[in-house]
Structure 1
Amino acid sequence: MTPEQLKASILQYAIQGKLVEQRAEEGTADVLFQQIQQNRKKKNIKEKKYPSITEDEIPYDIPDTWKWVRVSEICSILNGDRGKNYPAKSTLKKEGIPFISALNLDGHTVKNDDNLLCLSNEQYEKLGNGKLIKGDIVVCIRGSLGKHGRYPYDKGAIASSLVICRQFSDEDVLADYFMMYIDAPLFYALIRKYDNGTAQPNLAAKSLEQFLFPLPPLEEQHRIVTKIEELLPFVDSYAKAYEKLEQFNTKFPEEMKKSILQYAIMGKLVEQRAEEGTAEELYQQIQDEKQKLIRTGKFKKDKAFSDITDDEMPFDIPDNWKWVRVGDIFNVGTGMTPTKSESRFYLGGTIPWVNSSLTSNRYIEHVDTMITQYALDNTSLRLYPAHTLIVAMYGQGKTRGQISELLLPATTNQACAALESYSYQEVTTKYVYYCFLFNYEKLRKRAEGTSQPNLNVQKIKETIIPFPPLEEQQRIVAKIEELLPYCEILSKCKQ
């Protein structure tokens, strides 16, 4: 239950006569109603004639000592002045007599802030209607329907989107109870019933006059108001706790995902097994394969990378693991954008061309742009095989640092780094994908530039990752893929 729902439930209980007990010695609402009518007559306020309340109108049962009445029977509903003397906004000042709009109402009172504009005495005197006195309840009937507040100043006036609810009774407790009524679900149900707006919600003052009002005896009203004032601090405390819980629940799936990936690449997600050998052995196998491919001319020889220093290693890894640079186990390349003015590069193209925006997906299996064989033959583009990892080196928003895996042979633009395995193992590609996924924020911070920070191929090559033996990689990937769906389920539960 949200804090708003909790508060609404308490208020609804209050106006149904279920929040405090009824006491015979406190009399009945009929007696109070007659007193209110006497007050109305003393103030020379004309009675508004509306049809009697029918059984079909009554939304729920109330205690026998209560009485259903119409709002017009306990207060006057007063419109603002909508004639020629209505003040233009440009003529209002920061000082003078407050001129209230919905913007100034906070559900309790009138906010005295920079949005409070004022009339001059001359403007105020010219108004024929809509003049406020202290204690009036102001309600919005156009736009923000039901927004309200109690007027705290001696003089004032209302904008045309508001009405004044002025009590016939002089009892403050009745006004306090009325304010609670405006906050309760019944009031908003009646707004929905009578709302006659189309593009803008709109409620006629005459409709508000016909709203049903559950009237308790005066002493019971006092006890209801006291009980509400006693309970609302607990609702506020609940709201703070609820907000913290919501924040936790919102962050938890992503934090859980990060924790799984962190444990995985630190060697803590699965146990190490001596019979699975060492990462050094796997690394040497990859280096042998790399040299063969260089000798055949498939890849160019890279400059040797510097040794990985202790300062570069962010955490300890198991003894049978090895810190490696991405460029030691993958050939890292990029692409380019064939000139758009050369139709032979694109017309009738059948070769996929990837840009960095596609890295938001786990896999790249469809592309928006195709190039021709002519473009591949006459530019520096390289066709990367399926299962090449694609890292976004720059792009808008969250793009930089994202990683995806090709499911089809494709070329790329210059905003992508392509990681082509020297010795393809499906599990190693997946494991390195998860390493990049975990290091997303760290990789982004390595970007350089002012207006738009970028990564480059060299930075991708020099990136270090913790490298386990092949069979342990298989167990790590299997465990990650077993656990991550639970994070997705949790995320969907919050949507």
Structure 2
Amino acid sequence: MSMMSAKNLRNSILQMAVEGKLVEQRDEEGSATDLLASIREQRAQLVREKKAKPVKGGESVIWRDDAGHWFERRGKGEAVCIDEEIPFDIPDSWCWTRLESISNFGSCLNIEYESVSAGTWNLDLEDVEKDSGVILRKKYKRNDEQASTKHVFTEGMVLYSKLRPYLNKVVVADENGVCSSEILPIQFEGLEARCAQVFLMSPYFLAFANTHVSGTKMPRLRVADGKQCLMPIPSLAEQNRIVVKVDELMPHVDEYGKAQEQRERLDRELPVKLRKSILQAAVEGKLTEQSDDDEPASVLLAGIREQRAQLVREKKAKPIKGDESLIYRDDAGHWFERRGKSDPICIDEEIPFDIPDSWSWARLNGLASFAGGKTPATADSSNYEENGILWVTSKDMKRDHIDSTLITLSTKGAADLTLYPAGTILMVTRSGILRRMLPVAILDKEATINQDQKAICPFSSDLAAWLFTYFKANDARIRREFGKSGTTVESINFNQVETMLVAIPPLAEQEHIVSKVDAALEQLNALR
């Protein structure tokens, strides 16, 4: 069962408030019917004194009959049943009214900005946080500041953003000021400003506003429609209790939201951290137990050195620059390296972590050869063809195993490129993605590559899966220690990668580790 989000919990509280379900009703607090009747009488008196204009179409009066049906009469017209317009049930002590009947919705006092006094609060849409009713910042007019026509508001008015109403930006002014013409200053009668803010931010009004807009890219609530929105009204005393309850609950919702964000962040981070831990344990020899029956890694490495020496003698491979490296541990546990016939040098400070006794260290250039690729002339379309020779670019390096590419080459296009066999390891060495990760993959089919990759060709095919795992585990280290600085595009100094130290387990243990890593990562991916 999924947990309710903080936003949904907030919306639930606001909807309960607007439906009369957040606080209990009390008989001694009276009904909204009397409150609305008093407002109508006050307005009628102002009309008689010619201090206000009559409502167009006549004053709206809404009531519920003894059978529970809702009716509306405008002026001296006939009463009309509006049951189908009523959005939800409300308590008996509440009453429905039109928004225009309790406010000046849409009637704004304009002022040219040049006429606004310096130091006056100037509220813009970006100053209001969406969904929270919070003012993020306050700006005050400077003497030399120019701007378009503004709406004037006074302290206590509700400021409602009609532009993109789905952002749900509604605040109560705590001082006089001016605002963008996209914000409607609203003076309510019979509805406390904070309670009005709660109601205007409720899912009910939000849904109404979003379905009564004009414009697609920049939707705005149509003022004429907004005036006709039905508003549920409780007594003044209950309004105050609703505001108190909302203010009491919202800090808990905020804390819940923070806890939820933290949990979601942990949920996102945990698979990544577990993946790193699994890979690191694997290459340190901590994922599986060592077996005395396994042939030590030193024997495997000796065989690889002999294979390579034979290739050099047959002139099928070049000697290693700086001579052959032999790394061993003495009886005291110190690591030494001898190159060719030179004296051994202690390399303890270069060793990144401890490994089991049956493991050995080796330089990468003693385990594999390296090569690159390039891009055939793009102006010559004959270099490219569908279903041709695989050509790997950085965009293809989103998978661990590559058996297809986005672009394929013709025989002509691939003529000057090396065709690497299956089992070759590819590493991205130049791409913006290196800011976040080091893409590494194994070829499942023979392919060519472009200049942004390096091909790592193990001298023994048995090493491919292990080297791939080792690179994955050392992603951050390779980017940190071998990354080039001061370049326009992120890149790796591959000359340094070639001489990096690689921990080598016995061959049987390599296979066991790789199998266990694959199974663990598959289970981890299933959790996402």
- TM-score range relative to shorter protein: 0.7 to 0.9
Letter in 2 for 1:451: T
Shift of 1:226: 1.0
Q: Is 1:105 the equivalent of 2:128?
A: yes
Letter in 2 for 1:479: K
Q: SS of the residue aligned with 2:104?
A: strand
Q: SS of the residue aligned with 1:69?
A: strand
What percentage of aligned pairs have identical amino acids? 30
Which of 18, 22, 36 lines up with 2:21 in the alignment? 18
Deviations 1:429-485 (A, max 9, x none): 122111111211211121234224533443222122221112211221111111212
State how far apart, in whole Å, the 2-side matches of 1:433 and 1:132 are: 66
Shift of 1:181: 0.7
Give the structure 2 partner of residue 160 of structure 1.
Answer: 181
Q: Is 1:486 the equivalent of 2:523?
A: yes
State how far apart, in whole Å, the 2-side matches of 1:202 and 1:374 are: 56
State how far apart, in whole Å, the 2-side matches of 1:111 and 1:268 are: 51
Shift of 1:340: 6.3
State how far apart, in whole Å, the 2-side matches of 1:337 and 1:196 are: 51
Q: Is 1:430 the equivalent of 2:465?
A: yes
Letter in 2 for 1:363: H
State how far apart, in whole Å, the 2-side matches of 1:27 and 1:299 are: 98
Shift of 1:81: 6.0
Q: SS of the residue aligned with 1:398?
A: helix
State how far apart, in whole Å, the 1-side matches of 2:101 and 2:379 are: 78
Shift of 1:187: 1.0
State how far apart, in whole Å, the 1-side matches of 2:286 and 2:447 are: 36
Which of 171, 187, 192 lines up with 1:149 in the alignment? 171
Q: Is 1:273 the equivalent of 2:291?
A: yes
State how far apart, in whole Å, the 2-side matches of 1:289 and 1:94 are: 88
State how far apart, in whole Å, the 2-side matches of 1:9 and 1:261 are: 44
Q: SS of the residue aligned with 1:397?
A: helix
C-alpha root-mean-square deviation of aligned residues, in Å?
A: 3.2
Q: Is the 8 A contact 1:68 1:212 kept in 2?
A: yes
Letter in 1 for 2:172: R
Structure 1 pair 132/288, CA: closer, same or farther in 2 (3 Å)? same
State how far apart, in whole Å, the 2-side matches of 1:152 and 1:476 are: 66
Q: Is the 8 A contact 2:434 2:491 kept in 1?
A: no
Q: Is 1:370 the equivalent of 2:392?
A: no
Give the structure 1 partner of residue 359 of structure 2.
Answer: 321
Give the structure 2 partner of residue 213 of structure 1.
Answer: 231
Letter in 2 for 1:472: E
Which of 30, 35, 39 lines up with 1:36 in the alignment? 39
Give the structure 2 partner of residue 404 of structure 1.
Answer: 441
Q: TM-score, normalised by structure 1?
A: 0.85
State how far apart, in whole Å, the 2-side matches of 1:158 and 1:68 are: 30
Give the structure 1 partner of residue 67 of structure 2.
Answer: none
Q: Is 1:312 the equivalent of 2:356?
A: no
Letter in 2 for 1:150: V
Q: SS of the residue aligned with 1:442?
A: helix
Structure 1 pair 148/369, CA: closer, same or farther in 2 (3 Å)? same
Shift of 1:354: 3.3
Question: Which range moved further: 394-403 or 210-219?
Answer: 394-403
Q: How does 1:337-376 map to 2 (within 5 A)?
A: 337=375, 351-367=389-405, 368-370=407-409, 372=411, 376=415
Question: Which range moved further: 105-114 or 294-303?
Answer: 105-114
Q: Is the 8 A contact 2:372 2:451 kept in 1?
A: yes
Q: Is the 8 A contact 2:210 2:221 kept in 1?
A: no
Which of 154, 157, 160 lines up with 1:139 in the alignment? 160
Which of 401, 413, 421 lines up with 2:458 in the alignment? 421
Give the structure 1 partner of residue 209 of structure 2.
Answer: 191
Q: SS of the residue aligned with 1:466?
A: strand
Deviations 1:8-65 (A, max 9, x none): 1111112222221122222222122223333434554434545827111222212111
Q: Is the 8 A contact 1:37 1:168 kept in 2?
A: no
State how far apart, in whole Å, the 1-side matches of 2:116 and 2:243 are: 37
Structure 1 pair 305/37, CA: closer, same or farther in 2 (3 Å)? farther
Q: SS of the residue aligned with 2:423?
A: coil
Q: Is the 8 A contact 2:160 2:170 kept in 1?
A: yes
Give the structure 2 partner of residue 77 of structure 1.
Answer: 105
Structure 1 pair 111/481, CA: closer, same or farther in 2 (3 Å)? closer
Structure 1 pair 183/38, CA: closer, same or farther in 2 (3 Å)? same
Give the structure 1 partner of residue 343 of structure 2.
Answer: none
Structure 1 pair 221/436, CA: closer, same or farther in 2 (3 Å)? same
Structure 1 pair 346/236, CA: closer, same or farther in 2 (3 Å)? closer
State how far apart, in whole Å, the 1-side matches of 2:387 and 2:41 are: 89
Letter in 1 for 2:138: D
Shift of 1:356: 4.1
Structure 1 pair 38/372, CA: closer, same or farther in 2 (3 Å)? same
Give the structure 2 partner of residue 239 of structure 1.
Answer: 257
Shift of 1:258: 1.0
Structure 1 pair 305/212, CA: closer, same or farther in 2 (3 Å)? farther
Q: Is the 8 A contact 1:109 1:149 kept in 2?
A: yes
State how far apart, in whole Å, the 2-side matches of 1:227 and 1:138 are: 22
Letter in 1 for 2:453: C
Letter in 1 for 2:432: Q
Letter in 2 for 1:56: E
Letter in 2 for 1:113: K
Q: Is the 8 A contact 2:279 2:469 kept in 1?
A: yes
State how far apart, in whole Å, the 1-side matches of 2:461 and 2:445 are: 15
State how far apart, in whole Å, the 2-side matches of 1:300 and 1:344 are: 35
Letter in 2 for 1:189: A
Question: Which range moved further: 441-450 or 258-267?
Answer: 441-450
Give the structure 1 partner of residue 421 of structure 2.
Answer: 385
Deviations 1:382-410 (A, max 9, x none): 33211100112222333884211122223
**Would you tell me which structure has more helix in proportion to its own residues?**
1
Q: Is the 8 A contact 1:137 1:149 kept in 2?
A: yes
Give the structure 2 partner of residue 448 of structure 1.
Answer: 484
State how far apart, in whole Å, the 2-side matches of 1:250 and 1:317 are: 31
State how far apart, in whole Å, the 1-side matches of 2:368 and 2:160 are: 68
Structure 1 pair 345/55, CA: closer, same or farther in 2 (3 Å)? closer
Give the structure 1 partner of residue 307 of structure 2.
Answer: 289
Letter in 2 for 1:227: K
Q: Is 1:333 the equivalent of 2:371?
A: yes
State how far apart, in whole Å, the 2-side matches of 1:386 and 1:94 are: 76
Q: SS of the residue aligned with 1:75?
A: coil
State how far apart, in whole Å, the 1-side matches of 2:383 and 2:102 are: 80
Unaligned runs of 5+ in 1: none
Q: SS of the residue aligned with 1:149?
A: strand
State how far apart, in whole Å, the 1-side matches of 2:218 and 2:419 are: 57
Letter in 2 for 1:58: I
Q: TM-score, normalised by structure 2?
A: 0.80
Give the structure 1 partner of residue 63 of structure 2.
Answer: none
Q: SS of the residue aligned with 1:444?
A: helix
Give the structure 1 partner of residue 7 of structure 2.
Answer: 4
Q: SS of the residue aligned with 1:302?
A: coil
Letter in 1 for 2:128: L
